[in-house]
Amino acid sequence: MTLADIPGLYNYWVVILLMMVGLYIVVSRGNLVKKIVGLVVFQTSVFLLYISMGKIIGGTAPILTGRPEIFSNPLPHVLILTAIVVGISTTALGLALVVRIGDAYGTIEEDEIAKADHEAEFGGPETP
């Protein structure tokens, strides 16, 4: 890879950036809603990865017109429609679980939930 290739790979740089940002949010945030947001960013990066690989510069939509044309590959785009559906279901289910956790614990902060669980199990506050 030469220096000149780097701007041409612009899409992939964005993919990697979003992927790392998303994963970092999931790991670093204690708020459960923010974790879900991180997960969504992470999944979106994969959508971009697939869509970018199907695109051909100068290619059109794959519609049969009879004239010889260059088409983009439609398959990755279709795959990503499926993956978007999976992503939305996961997000919806995750948020629904956060609502239930909020009802049961009265908080959606990870450390406070851990504290509540500890107190319920051992009957006293956590000793450091």
Partner 1 sequence: MITPHLPALQIVVPLVAAPLCLLLRRGDLAWGLALVVSWAALAIAIMLLQAVLTGGVISYEFGDWPPPWGIEYRIDAANAFVLLIVSGISAVLLPYARASVASEIEESKHCLFYTAYLLCLTGLLGVAITGDAFNLFVFLEITSLATYVLVAMGAGRDRRALTAAFTYLVMGTIGATFFVIGVGLLYMVTGTLNMNDLAVRIADLGENRTVSVAFAFLVVGLGLKLALFPLHLWLPNAYAYAPSVVTVFIAATSTKVAVYALLRFLFTIFGLEFSVEALTLTYVFLPLAIAGMFAASTVAIFQVDMKRMLAYSSVAQLGYMVLGMSFGNVTGLTATILHLFNHALIKGGLFMALGCVVYRCGSASIDEMRGLGRQMPLTMAAFVIGGLSLIGIPLTVGFISKWYLIQGAIEAGWWPVAILIVATSLLAVLYIGRVIEVAYLQPAPEGRVVTEAPRSMLIPMWVLIVANIYFGIDASLTTSVAGTAARALIGGTP
The residues of the shown chain that bind partner 1, judged by CB under 8 A, are: 23, 26, 32, 35, 39, 42-43, 46, 49-50, 53, 76, 79, 82-83, 86, 89-90, 93-94, 97-98, 100-101, 104-105, 113, 117
Spatial CA neighbour of 39 closest among 27, 50, 56, 51: 27
Spatial CA neighbour of 6 closest among 28, 14, 80: 14
Cβ neighbours for 112, distance < 8 A, ≥ 6 positions apart: 105
Cα 7 to Cα 11: distance, rounded to the nearest angstrom: 9
Comparing CB distances to partner 1, the nearer of 60 and 73 is 73
As measured in angstroms, the least distance from the Cβ of 109 to partner 1 is 12
As measured in angstroms, the least distance from the Cβ of 19 to partner 1 is 8
Comparing CB distances to partner 1, the nearer of 14 and 46 is 46
As measured in angstroms, the least distance from the Cβ of 17 to partner 1 is 15
- Tokens 């429609």 locate to 81
